[in-house]
Amino acid sequence: MLLFRSEEHVARWCAQRGLARGATLTPAQGWELARAWYADKLSPDWRRKTPAEAEAVFRSIGLEGAFWSLRP
Amino acid sequence: MSADGSTAGAVDRRVRLFVFGRAAEIGTVPTLDEIASALGEPSDAVTASLQHLAAGRVIVLAPGTTDIWMANPFSAVPTDFRIEARGRSYFGNCVWDGLGVLALLDADGVLRTHCPDCGEPLELAVRGRRLVEATGEIHFAVPAARWWEDIGFT
């Protein structure tokens, strides 16, 4: 997960490497994702999120669709 | 005693809490010897715990070793995701983890990286739990279901 100057830079970087363009988030979405994922990491009771919990986090910040699915 | 009632589970929990707590405290992910010394556990018990935690995707070991590579969001090695917070420097594994360090610390700070395309320095800054400098686009190259196929690339 990398930070680019803009969509144009994402597209050029992917094209130069023969990579399909993935998904893009705004920095604000990235911050919400980071908070939802890591804010409790120091808690003694922390545990990994289940796939359903992780997908719920993605949905909560507008990340939906096949790219964000954790189901096989 | 851990939730699963096993001694190994109890050690795993202590190792986990120490690794993440220490990384948050000093900005450096502890080594096996440091963990063993701090917890008063034999090295082989800590090695086993690190392997358990890696198998559970709580940490990532450097390939073929018992050295912690990633204790997400922290990176044990320098990366292009440097975080300045609490008067210290930290390294994250990616931009998500870089912001994750600030979320975990619950601290104001700055994430510094570079655009992979043009090399221009980029910053994301957090103040008062809000993102206050927010330019650029975050790109995920790998679909979520495949993140762990090659976590280093992801």
**Quick one: what percent of chain B has pLDDT higher than 90?**
82
**A52 close to B (CB below 8 A):** no
How high is the pLDDT of residue B150? 65
Cβ contacts of A7 on chain B, cutoff 8 Å: 137
The Cα-based distances of B11 to B14, B18, B36, B38, B43 in angstroms read 5, 10, 11, 12, 12
| ipTM over the 0.85 cut-off | yes
- Among partner residues B94, B113, B138, which is closest to A24 by beta-carbon distance? B138
How high is the pLDDT of residue B2? 39
> DSSP letter string over A18-58?
TPPP-EEE-HHHHHHHHHHHHTTTTSTT--PPPHHHHHHHH
Q: Where are the beta strands (DSSP E) in chain B?
A: 60-61, 68-71, 74-75, 82-85, 88-91, 109-114, 121-127, 130-134, 137-140
How high is the pLDDT of residue B152? 65
pLDDT reading at B3 higher than 60: no
Asked whether A13 and B135 are in contact (CB, 8 A), the reply is no
Q: Looking up tokens 């994250």, which residue turns up?
A: B92
pTM of structure: 0.92
pLDDT reading at B19 higher than 90: yes
**B137 close to A (CB below 8 A):** yes
**B101 close to A (CB below 8 A):** yes
**Cα–Cα distance, B1 to B88 (Å, whole number):** 34
Decide the pairing of beta strands B121-127 and B130-134. Answer: antiparallel
pLDDT reading at B37 higher than 90: yes
> pLDDT tens for residues B115-140?
999 999 999 999 999 999 788 999 99
Q: Which pLDDT band holds residue B1 (cuts at 50, 70, 90)?
A: very low
pLDDT reading at B38 higher than 60: yes
Cβ <8 Å between A9 and B118:
yes
Q: Which pLDDT band holds residue B153 (cuts at 50, 70, 90)?
A: low
Cβ contacts of B73 on chain A, cutoff 8 Å: 34, 38, 41
- Among partner residues B104, B106, B138, which is closest to A1 by beta-carbon distance? B138
